[in-house]
Structure formats: structure tokens, C-alpha cells
Structure 1
């Protein structure tokens, strides 16, 4: 059985090896960016029960003082990710930020406060119409609506036929979103309705520029992470080395584009530990 260390030291692409080399050579100029659900926290049927892997905070706290910044980039509200992650008031985590709602909100460990602009008015309109749409499709009892403040997500994991419910909902939810100026972002058995022009790629690019990072690592596990992968690829073409990590193999396109493919949050924690060393 290969150790995590073997994985860390051998990204399968030249670009990935260059990214890792740059991070290790000048860690104080590196941004380590991570998705939350499925990357730092195991996927669970009820999103409210999601918690960071038990060793994640210790691994992050060991790494954070050595790098320019650690950024957790998530579709969830920043405050929820902070609570579920256990990130508040941890010694060593002063260099951590949480970019919530795909970057629309930001929590800084230094101040412990969240900054956010006003929510898009379409979100409230969609929220009020959603129960009727789900009832018309006979999916009201088969779905779980997650309230995200700046977005609304409809989960089909608990349905008797999760994939069937997901496919049935795609078109009606896209139409509902479009009527109110929102877009639908599909994920693993979840469809999220949110404002356009906000994604993890935009959030990551702006943050890397803001702190003047000279290298970047991004780790994610779902379709919503593809824009962040694209952002790292663009940064690489602009001369900023980067390492792309797929937290698992579930989303084929993510695994195919990654420099390093891991086996779930425990392996991500192992990677963070190895980097800290």
C-alpha cells in the first residue's frame, strides 16, 4: 500500500509537478484552496450533518502558518462552513479565509467576521415559488430544500429514485431560475439556484490576485469545482504554477483534469499533513 507521501510527491502531469515544486520552494507565496463538502468533509445524506474530517482542523492549523493563505471556497454560507468545519478560534489558523456562497461572502479567521453584499432579489422569489413547483411534479416529499440565504438548493439524495428525481427537476428548475434572473448549478444529486456570475473560479482568481500569490493548489470533488480547475489552468498559462487535486474519482471530468487524484477527505487531510512537513 503506497503512503499518502508517495501520492504527494508524484503528480502525474508536468504542470502538476511544477505546481507542487513552486509551492514547496516558496510556501509563503502559496495559496492552498479547498472545497468543503466532499473534500474536507465526507458527503452525508443530510447536508446539515456534514462535518469536517476529524483530523482536518489540525492538518490545516499545521499548514496555515507556513503558507500565504488557506482559502476554503464553498457554495455554502461562510458562517455555516465555519461552524461545520470548526475553524473559529483555532490557534495557527489565522491565515484561513472562508469564501462562502462561491465568493459572495467572506469570513476571515483574523477578525472572525463575515462580510457580504445584499442578496439577489431573485432568490426570495424562487424560494416562495419552489414548493408549488415541487408539488406539481409530485416531488415535494422526495426532495430536501436547503436554504442558503444567497441561494436555494434542492437535494434528491433522499428520493426513492434519486437520479430520476434529479433528471425530472433539471428543466423545471432551470425555467424557474431563468424567470428570476438566476442560474442552476448541478452537483451530486443536488440542483442549486443562485445568481449568475458567481462561481468558485471567479472567487479563486480574485483571491489569488488580491494576495499576490505566486503558486496555488486547488482541491475539489464536484461539478461546482470545475470553474476553479479552469481558473488554475488559466493562472498556469499566465505564469502562476498550480496543482489540481481531485478529492475522489466520482466526477470523471474532475478526475481526468486533476494532476493528483485522492481517495476522499482522509486522503486530502494526509496531503495537507505532508505539505506541512
Structure 2
């Protein structure tokens, strides 16, 4: 891990720094529409983006939403891969495939499926639909009760289920954060990589870091059982921002 950080600092032009959004750059909040990046995040990203080869945010959110909630439009060289890599925002331009046809059925049937549990929220992301149990009286019990029915609905409509912290997301199959990160590393001819995340969906990206053959660092944002999967554990988005600042400081210190 120390060697990988040294590789990033010694050769920043060859480094890819990848980041999740919710829970990593932005604190987790009960209402997903209220999530915003840590106050120091845009400045830290803008500074780091001017120092490393590539900076990429990989999120389950729509790419444009992450750009808006993260105040990311001004970050130099930033790429945002939304919907686990299905969408791409770069230089103010957004590219994406058509929505999966199964989402029409999901939108019609989900309200009835969750109606028996008070406090469940449905978030329509355009190319995915998420079921949130954080606002219920018993978030884990509600999550467990809905996991089976949501999986059945996904199977019926040809969608995949991505579980997270009190959320079940129905999305098109065939990609995840690991696939998205791996493809991006090859595209950029990366020579080192760091990825920071906080949830189950980020484990695929952690695995991509471990198996890509490059010097790599995985960072867990928070304190949970998933932290055993990471090389570095930091205290939420504030810790991520602090780490990014430290990397920028180390790179800048080596410049003439």
C-alpha cells in the first residue's frame, strides 16, 4: 500500500484517482435529494485534478446529478461515470444509452410492492430505480423484508439488484463499478490507481484495483465491516477530503 501511494506521488501523470459519491464525497443523508458534497470537496478535487493524470467519480447516481450535487463542473479533467458506468459526463457533455425497457414495469409495480411498509422511499434515477428503507421504523427489517420481492421483480424485468446501505437499486445488468473502473484504467493507460468507496457496490471497484496489475490503493470511507476490504480506512467524506489533500501536498512538494 505504501509503495502504491509512492507510485502515485512519484508519477502523478500516470495516476488514476477514482471516487464514489454518496458516503465518500458526500455524507449519507435520509433524503437522497438532499445529499451534497463535503464543503471542502470541490476545492480538494480541483487541486488534485490539476496534479494527477485522471480523476474519475464512479457512482450509481445519474452522472449529471453527481456533477450538480458535487459542484464538480469546474474540476479540471474530471470524468463522471454515472449509473455504474452506463453514463459518462466529461467536459460538460453527457453520453448515455437508452433506458432499459424493464424500468417501465418496475415504476408501475414498485409502489404496490412497498405499500405495506411505512416510510419506504422510491427514488427514480431515470436509468435505475432505488428503494430506500432508511426512513422506516426499522430500516434493516424493512430492507430484509423487501430484498426477496425486489429481487423477484428484477428477475421478471431483466434488471439487476444492487444492494447498499438500506437501499435496493434495480438497474440494467452487465456493468458495475469494477467493470467501469477497469475499462477506464485501460482507456487512460494508467500506471497507478486509487479508489475510495463506502458501500457494497464499491467492492467490485476494490477488486478491480487488486487485480489490474498496477500499484493500487483502496480506501474505505467510514467504519463498518467492509473496511476489512480496504488498505486505508478514513472517517467518512471529511477523511476522504483530508487524504486527497495530503496526496496533493505530497505531489506539490516534489515539484521544482
1:106 aligns with 2:78: no
Structure 2 partner of 1:95? 77
Structure 1 residues 124-155: Cα deviation after superposition (integer angstroms, max 9, x where no partner): 221111112122xx12x420001111110000
Mapping for residues 121-200 of structure 1, pairs under 5 Å: 121-135=101-115, 138-139=116-117, 141-200=118-177
Deviation at 1:94, TM superposition (A): 2.1
Structure 1 partner of 2:188? 211
Deviation at 1:198, TM superposition (A): 1.5
1:245 aligns with 2:219: yes
Deviation at 1:57, TM superposition (A): 0.4
1:75 aligns with 2:60: yes
Deviates further, 55-64 or 16-25: 16-25
Paired residue total: 249
Partner SS, residue 222 of structure 2: coil
Partner SS, residue 50 of structure 2: helix
Distance 1:94 1:199 in 2: 25
Q: Which runs of 5+ in 1 are unaligned?
A: 1-15
Partner SS, residue 76 of structure 2: helix
Deviates further, 144-153 or 125-134: 125-134
Runs (4+) of structure 1 exceeding 3 A deviation are: none
1:31 aligns with 2:20: no
Q: Which runs of 5+ in 2 are unaligned?
A: 250-256
Aligned-residue CA RMSD (Å): 0.9
TM-score scaled by structure 2?
Answer: 0.95
Distance 2:209 2:232 in 1: 14
Structure 2 partner of 1:65? 50
1:55 aligns with 2:40: yes
Partner SS, residue 173 of structure 1: helix
Deviation at 1:55, TM superposition (A): 0.2
TM-score scaled by structure 1?
Answer: 0.88
Distance 1:94 1:128 in 2: 41
Structure 1 residues 42-68: Cα deviation after superposition (integer angstroms, max 9, x where no partner): 111100000000000000111111111
